[in-house]
Amino acid sequence: MIEKIHINRSRQKLIIYSIIVIWLLAINLWLFKNSRAKTTLSAFSTAPPHHSSIYNQYDDEVVYKMSQSEIESDLQGLSSTEAGSPVAIKDDFTIQLLQNNLKTKDLRGVDAHAEVYNTIFSNHNIDSIFGNLDFEHRCELYFRNLFLNDHNWAFNPNEDLELIYRDDFAYEDYYRAHSGEIKKKYSEKIDKPEDQINDNDPALKKYIKQEYNSWLNSTRFNEQIVVNGVTTLRIFNKCYISNDNATQVKAMDKFIKNQHNLVSALAASEGERLPSFELTKQESLINLQQSTFEHRVYPWLSFEPPVYESWQGHVYYQPPNLQAIRKGKPQPASKSKSPYFLSQFRDQCNGKGIVLSIGDKHADDTVRLIHLLRALNNKLPIQIVYYDKLSTATKEKIVTAAREPFNSLPRSFAKIAHYFPDDYLTAEENGLPKQDVWFVNTYNVINNEFKDKFKGFGNKFLATLFNSFEEFILVDADTAMMQNPEFFFQLSGYKKSGAFFYKDRSSFEDRKDSDGYFFKKISPSIIDSVMFNIPIITEHTLDREFFRGAFQYMESGLVVLNRKQHYNAMLMMLQLNFYQPVTQRIHGDKEIFWLAMAVSGDERYEFNEYFAAAIGEVTPEADRVRKDGTNAHAKEICSPHPGHINSEDGHSLVWINSGFQFCGQASKIDYDKEYQKNTRLKWLTDANAFKTFYYAPLRISQAVIPPVDIRFRATNTEEEPEKGWHMETEYCNSYMWCAYSSIGGKVEGGGTNTREGTLIEFPQSARDLFAYYGDIWVGLE
């Protein structure tokens, strides 16, 4: 029934057939149960040896069910399509019916599938696949065809997929941005001075159009390579890494059974027999060795676990079971039955903990963070994950910070001592609780050929994957928590989803729509959805401000993850980091965490509802006076620190970024020049006052969450802020940001465009706690 691909059936007919199918299900169920096993098992049984050659043009055996020319003709209609292209696989009636049965509305506006599907559906009747094959056999069919197209197939992390002109997908944008440089290129080509070429010359415009089409085709070609790669990854992970997950197995059994019933009933309603499934001759010649898949899909892995070293110096070459170690018991044997390294590693991970990814340059911030964790009464183990080398001096600093007696507390402790439990300071610990610190060396995890792929932000994804915890909080070295770490595991958003993230500043920067279009394009396709039950993304992802133009959406300074719930998505994070078309569309690692989940077909993640706040102290009213002498309506906080307010209670500060020192760039400042600017921090009376203030702990009394103003400028006549955030480049080495509690005011012609944000006044008890934590972090006695 491959010819159905070329028939565009009406939506009305789809509805009618759906009704008929439901009515016929009960009638056909018994027939289906008696025929299913025969067609499925025989299709994938060991094929008898062939006594002919696929290379012999006179061979009587048919290699394809259609001629090669017919296949090539059909592929034009089967390929991933843009608007206006021929009918795609997803428009086949059976696939539409199956997708409609999943009851997920497609909101993306673009659908692109892996090219290997073109081969599969050219060689097989669509109904024979969806009416007969179970999950395991669909997986085999996909990978048979992947290796059939290229016997040497393997993912290539070194593939050069440079993204150029990422903002200029529309021809008008391209012409506006690049017509000048192309005109120069054109003048050189025809050997004529630029000033003698008219901008309206039809030959020049034709040349520019040709250059645009060449660039667009190249860009789409590279994007298709990404589509192919991420599709194979998510299918491999579902087929072979998480295929032992009880929840997935139950869901897949139900999914396959429903499809078999629907397709069988559809065939009966048309007076036809359900066609049987048979491998093509070429497919049957592929002898699948599943153990080789992992090496092809993850060639950057060495398939050796990291090296785990306790603070005492004990070394383990597999994820340590910290509970057994604390009790003095031997490491329990792995219960994993999977032949795959990644599954075995996942099954060995255990417990809860805190994870950092650092190098030697982060040693001082890490020491301060460990001091703060002790003050927060942390009882969770900490793993310091590094790549290549971490010096002995850095390890000594960290262990000293974690284990030395810590009983000399700042004076600010006196005000808040009663907030802590009675055992907060114990004779056994000789002060604040000691920390269980581990060092994790991931260098040998990486294949030698790809070791340079994990420099910079890539280290953070290694830390995400190769720490040994089942549940963990991943933090930056300059992250300052304001709550005991166990608090984050108790958030309802985390308990609901197993993945909890925080939003960044809703700053004035925005991104082109083409970025969102690209991430929709590489997300699960309709074919992925109906073939492997990998759902297409929904409004849970698409309604986020990122897809409406927000340049900064996620703040990755603190991430809470459950490995066993989201292991496949974690693997996708590392893979996406190899693709330039991905990394050039985002800043560092920030967006990859949640986008990788959506791209892998996993939307079980939650965000804190609030965007980041400016935290510190409100600018005095005397410094916020309009030209007419009245006070500004909007309250202002200028601070180098983004803070995060718990949206579950609407007022608690849970963590901040950029450490606790007011200006983390304090050592780089010329204080005489800083003081002479006299536009901010006017209460500081001289250069020394500036220096003292910059090195001191941030004092937190209020927080401002500006209104979200993406692509909106609140132009007004009242000298009120037009945007919620302003980057104050004149202070703290350009790390200062000012936030406003409202934007807009009266506008010309009458009316107002005011938008209100949120101003939070912290109670004195909270301010006292913040002061104590700040003193601990900075090291004040």
Comparing C-alpha atoms, which of 748, 755, 750, 749 is closest to residue 722? 755
Domain ranges, residue 663:
613-778
- The Cα-based distances of 247 to 244, 554, 564 in angstroms read 9, 29, 12
Per-residue tokens: 401: 């910070």
For residue 644, being part of any structural domain is answered with: yes
The runs of H, that is alpha helices, within 328-430 are: 341-348, 363-375, 392-403, 413-416
Confidence of residue 589 (pLDDT cuts 50, 70, 90): confident
Torsions phi, psi for 308 (to 5 deg): -105, 125
Confidence of residue 64 (pLDDT cuts 50, 70, 90): very low
For residue 107, being part of any structural domain is answered with: no
| CA 540/CA 538 separation, integer angstroms | 5
Q: What is the H or E stretch that residue 98 is in? A: helix 93-102
Instruction: Give the type of residue at 551.
Output: F
- Write down which residue in 160, 195, 218 finishes a domain: 218
- Write down which residue in 155, 185, 218 finishes a domain: 218
pLDDT at 334: 82
pLDDT at 30: 41
Is residue 109 within 8 Å of 520, Cβ to Cβ?
yes
Please tell me whether residue 641 adopts helix, strand or coil conformation: coil
Q: Is pLDDT larger for residue 233 or for residue 175?
A: 233
Strand partners, 472: 353, 561
Could you write out the DSSP letters of every residue in 462-503? HHHHHSS-SEEEEE-TT-EESS-THHHHT-HHHHHHSEEEEE
**HSE-up of residue 618 (Cα within 13 Å, Cβ side):** 20
Lowest mean pLDDT among 194-198, 354-358, 463-467, 586-590: 586-590
For residue 756, being part of any structural domain is answered with: yes
What domain count does the chain have? 2
Q: Give the highest mean pLDDT range of 178-187, 427-436, 638-647.
A: 638-647
Q: Is pLDDT larger for residue 16 or for residue 352?
A: 352
Q: Could you read off the pLDDT of 203-236 as tens digits, one per residue?
A: 998 999 999 999 889 989 999 999 999 999 999 9
Mean pLDDT over each residue of the chain, to the nearest integer: 88
Q: Could you read off the pLDDT of 703-732 as tens digits, one per residue?
A: 999 999 988 999 999 999 999 999 999 999
The runs of H, that is alpha helices, within 237-339 are: 246-269, 281-284, 290-297, 322-326
Is residue 215 within 8 Å of 174, Cβ to Cβ?
yes
- Write down which residue in 218, 236, 253 finishes a domain: 218
pLDDT at 254: 97
Confidence of residue 53 (pLDDT cuts 50, 70, 90): low
| CA 7/CA 268 separation, integer angstroms | 20
For residue 522, being part of any structural domain is answered with: no
Residue 742 has pLDDT above 90, yes or no: yes
| CA 643/CA 737 separation, integer angstroms | 12
pLDDT at 95: 93
Residue 558 has pLDDT above 60, yes or no: yes
Confidence of residue 5 (pLDDT cuts 50, 70, 90): very low
What would the mean pLDDT of 454-476 be, rounded to a whole number? Answer: 92
pTM greater than the 0.75 cutoff = yes
What would the mean pLDDT of 587-599 be, rounded to a whole number? Answer: 92
Cβ-based burial of 303 (10 A; exposed 0-12, middle 13-18, buried ≥19) = middle
Residue 453 has pLDDT above 70, yes or no: yes
Residue 85 has pLDDT above 80, yes or no: no
pLDDT at 321: 94
For residue 164, being part of any structural domain is answered with: no
For residue 255, being part of any structural domain is answered with: no
Q: Is the dihedral of CA 578, 582, 588, 589 positive or negative?
A: negative
Residue 442 has pLDDT above 80, yes or no: yes
Q: Is pLDDT larger for residue 58 or for residue 632?
A: 632
pLDDT at 50: 52
Lowest mean pLDDT among 286-300, 428-442, 547-561: 286-300
Strand partners, 542: none
For residue 573, being part of any structural domain is answered with: no
Q: Could you read off the pLDDT of 146-165 as tens digits, one per residue?
A: 999 898 999 999 888 888 87
For residue 625, being part of any structural domain is answered with: yes
Q: Is pLDDT larger for residue 758 or for residue 166?
A: 758
Confidence of residue 513 (pLDDT cuts 50, 70, 90): confident
Torsions phi, psi for 310 (to 5 deg): -75, 170
510 DSSP assignment: B
Lowest mean pLDDT among 49-63, 209-223, 685-699: 49-63
3-state SS of 565-618?
HHHHHHHHHHHHCCCHHHHCCCCCCCCHHHHHHHHCCCCCCEECCCCCEEEECE
